[in-house]
Structure 1
């Protein structure tokens, strides 16, 4: 997919949500998000094996406010808000999720569900929100 197509895809708030993407496309996604002036945040989850580590890594990458409660509900609340990171759209790229997915598949699925729900709520306001998980080519 070329960068023009990526920009059009990212701009479509009605299609945003939580998705797997080709691991080789991170730079192109970043460039497309930049063209749209979207917030693009790459979150490295390498070495994370539990919910606490994942939440801490996400909170740090997105510079969550002090009131972040370090649980799934608080994550959803912060992702629904993002007033400290104003942008016309959001692209979160979660790198190196394999270890965590293996150690905590239920938690991994909860995060995907939260990403989908948050995207739906943002879409109601005409804002694209993407939670993208790169996987090696051929595993999509």
Structure 2
């Protein structure tokens, strides 16, 4: 069963590295307890939303990211990997007919 459109907000204020980014994703995006706080786990969580709302995957998702420029400047390598994972998730969800839109406050 498909649920409503999901709007999520990721606030990166004070995030300066990979670990901080992954921790903030867990908190702000309300990832499940099994989230492993690594790049593979991030990819899993953003391409399988069955953990959200007890198995009712949303019909679409907007991920609004604030504070991206400071994170990108502090850890360009981690930001590039995160942006790639999110872009892959957008492409995946586009093929599923339930779009994921990632909106950065200053581009990836």
TM-score tier after normalising by the smaller chain length:
0.7 to 0.9
Work out which of the residue numbers 116, 133, 139 in structure 1 matches 2:87: 116
Larger helix fraction of residues: 1
Unaligned 5+ segments in structure 1 are 1-36
User: Which residue among 54, 59, 62 is the counterpart of 2:29?
Assistant: 62
CA distance in 2 between counterparts of 1:62 and 1:96 reads 15
- TM-score for the superposition, normalised by structure 1: 0.67
In terms of Rg, which structure is larger?
Answer: 1
- The gaps in structure 2 that reach 5 residues or longer are none
Q: How many residues align?
A: 100
CA contact (8 A) 1:38 1:88 kept: yes
Contact persistence 1:115–1:130 (CA under 8 A): no
In the TM superposition, residue 103 of structure 1 has moved relative to its aligned partner by 1.2
Higher relative contact order (CA 8 A, sep 6+): 1
RMSD of the TM alignment (CA)?
Answer: 1.4
TM-score, with length taken from structure 2: 0.85
Paired with 2:33 and 2:96, the residues of 1 have a C-alpha distance of 26
Deviation beyond 6 Å, 4+ runs, structure 1 = none
| SS in structure 2 of the partner of residue 83 of structure 1 | helix
Name the CA distance, whole Å, in 1 between partners of 2:39 and 2:64.
Answer: 18
Please name the residue that 1:102 is paired with: 73
Give the deviation of 1:56 after TM superposition.
Answer: 0.9
